[in-house]
Amino acid sequence: MKSCLDCIPCFFDQALRASRMATDDEQVQKRVLDELGTMLRHLSLGSTPPEIGRLIYRMVKETTGNPDPFRVLKRESTQHALALYPSLKKTIIESENSLLTAIRIAIAGNVIDLGVSGSFDLDAAVRDALMMDFAICDYAAFEKYLTESRQILYIGDNAGETVFDRLLIEQMNKPVTYVVREEPVINDATAEDAVQAGIDKIATIVSSGTDAPGTIPGTCSLEFRELLDSAEFVLAKGQGNYEGLSDDNRPLFFLLKAKCRLIANDLGVTVGDIVLKGIHT
């Protein structure tokens, strides 16, 4: 999915939020925005939002001297999610369709996204996702792929959301390779975050090799690209992975909550909707 002019004010919003996470110095925060202003004419809207996001968050880290501005918040998100784990596990086990409930819960976890907004209500998101209708629900195809595949490539998104992914992985009951970002970017999950969520106990954690807030195959490692090319069943969580992979030709399932108007438009849904969408499936 390409970027558009509407992404530009949002990039400044994101850069401001990230700079405030990185430093309390207002002059440095202003310098971050000035730097982005200077970068702007060199950014091509032919790129996907995570490709541009990658350059912006690199600049934020360089300008503020803080290599992981969202570190504390990521840890808090994971702890919050871990506290919910037992009751969510019970909800899944006791529900009529445990797999679909686990999918709903994994999507609810996608609200933990500090790129799109500065705050979220995780408990409300869980309640909503358990109750609301899917705007797109390619569940039959998902179930078929799950039955027929020997293993699953699961591309994670944010720290904390990882705990919700763990619940779905446990429910799918197949060998899973769980993909994280190589470097910290926004609150996206790295290997460290996935381990804190306990993913290492139930899946093999691999890095995509990127520091982009999404999966753009061209910025990923050769190892990851080979994994992706050979995967039978790929699940990708969240908007950044959708933006990077939605124009891809391979069969893929996206699990996300639409939080941005432009992504919602691209999917033909409304902001706030929950989506399980298969492409080329």
Contact footprint for its own copies (CB under 8 A):
5-6, 8-10, 12-13, 16, 26, 29-30, 33-34, 36-41, 45
CB of 279 to its own copies, least distance (A): 27
3-state secondary structure of 276: strand
CB of 204 to its own copies, least distance (A): 40
Closest to its own copies by CB, 16 or 137: 16
CA angle 77, 239, 241 (to 5 degrees): 100
Closest to its own copies by CB, 13 or 170: 13
Burial of 239 (0-12, 13-18, 19+ CB in 10 A): buried
Closest to its own copies by CB, 10 or 73: 10
Closest to its own copies by CB, 6 or 247: 6
3-state secondary structure of 255: strand
| Concatenated DSSP letters of 126-140 | HHHHHHSPEEEE-HH
Closest to its own copies by CB, 26 or 123: 26
- Of 141, 202, 213, 139, give the one whose Cα is nearest residue 167: 202
CB of 37 to its own copies, least distance (A): 4
SS (H, E, C) 208-246: CCCCCCCCCHHHCCHHHHHHHHHCCCEEEEHHHHHHHHC
CB of 268 to its own copies, least distance (A): 22
CB of 42 to its own copies, least distance (A): 9
Name the H helices within 95-189.
Answer: 98-108, 122-131, 139-148, 161-172
